[in-house]
Structure 1
């Protein structure tokens, strides 16, 4: 069976050059970056080089980057770190109703600790409106957290405008850019953003490595205590091979972004055109913003068939897709993102996320649209 992987929003395949960079470290280095002998100094150079490379790709200073174990830890560090540091100044946080669960569940935990959280609604395309943010701001608001590009529907948020408002009000602004980093061009230093989360395994790097950008002067308390790593902001021995791989992935993502965007948009169009040809435009619905979206994420509802049934049928055909966030796939509950968009029940319970990336071809996409057509025809004939 020919397997087709269309779940790059969950995790991407490791780029061959990334694997080579990691293997070179695993085979050639044994030191701890905190040790003062020659082996330790060599390890420290690996960490510093990785920090320089990732910072360059993100558009920030190396000293503004905290390495973490991935996007979830980065989100947690941003929310809990800022809340702890600023709790005497206020206990109100603003986020949106469509954030990743790393932010949503962190906010729920902060509510249990005595903080108040406002969850901004979104429109039918999944976008936040700045007027609603302005209305939600209070004198005791200390942090606003908004995802750059949604991991389920791909919709982009007006980060520039939201950040400018936050800065005008003197409120820290955190952006979960895990899906956006490497997919669309931006530089952290040019945005009105104080904290930004990114992850390696969304850009063809290894799993278990990420980073949090913290603008100079931003107050933040650590989550982990122990050694003095990461300027005492995140204790723990550095993952040398993981960081080397993250750096190489970030370097490649920056260099190849234009080509990647062109390819992903081509695959997106090919799938939409193929579905229109195979099943007809009236038998599927695209969820998310029609123009303000990440190029590699496409969320589609097939009202004739429930999400789980379509997932199972596609998997049997060797096609890997998702029902939404990788952290909640397998759950029979409807997506909180689609619910917040107030989609009709028929779209809510039949949504499939296709996400493109390294290795995908237009020939594969043609096969996928044909398979979807076959599956839906099979269901129709059973009725």
Structure 2
């Protein structure tokens, strides 16, 4: 599709094409769809192919499916073999965009088998792997997607320059896998820190101060509350699954732990005193578990710095702005918390895109296609800061976190 009408750019997060001139492409599509079909099978196949591809790029997927199905039928009946493989892959691409992943993957698998037996494809064969990778990427099958993208780059041969769409696709997928690996390490490390801190004096501190039932959410807000007033949207972002959060905050205010200031809450003196002691216990615990975390800290702070403004939520940026400079182990704890809230923000935003709250999304079964869409979207959003890193930095970050004792 060398015509300027078909020029497009690729969204670096979804990997979907977007027309550079949708108005002109729409006008062409409407004219072409109204024209009589050529009598020559090869010309007719090209006619249906161009209409189908244009319709797909413009998200007119039913129209795209009709024309690309016809193009595939003509290729099957009249050949050549290479045209059949390419026609099948174009139709599979429509199934993918329609969310019919099982059908799309079955067609792409067939294309990969048939394509390996069709030397006439020549340099076009790597596109089959590229499009199969995009299907796996849309479906949230990240490891399979990265394998397909890597194979496409290898088959194409030559070096890929920054900005190359095929390299983009590999980098985007590797960033998703990095984000998921980092998230697993965050859960491991923060669980270890909090459990050790509770056993090392944290539980005694909260008991001594008389922390009430439901007051545990103050501990999650500790860095924010110690830096000043916390806006209610930020509190909701930190605790997106807490039912009746504002009622809980009102009760804590009535008990003298918080002060309400319009649409914000402020730590009362007794709350400040308790949280400062809790932070001291956490800092001591981090220094004991991670006495020399410089490599992990430098990489975490690199990611945190690049992640500002990328979470589509209120918790992450607020936490980053509230951090105070202390020891290296304590700064690492704050950085790990920040990255966890980046993930919380993205998951809340992904649920919101489906019209659900984070609490509602948490109730969905793992097989629910809505949950799968939420998880896939959240994974892509969580990968944003990692796309800014070089491949070697992503690997080093995961390795450095995995090396920390938990």
Normalising by structure 2, we get a TM-score of 0.27
**Structure possessing the higher radius of gyration over alpha carbons:** 2
Query: More relative contact order in 1 or in 2 (CA 8 Å, sep 6+)?
Result: 1
More strand by share: 1
More helix by share: 2
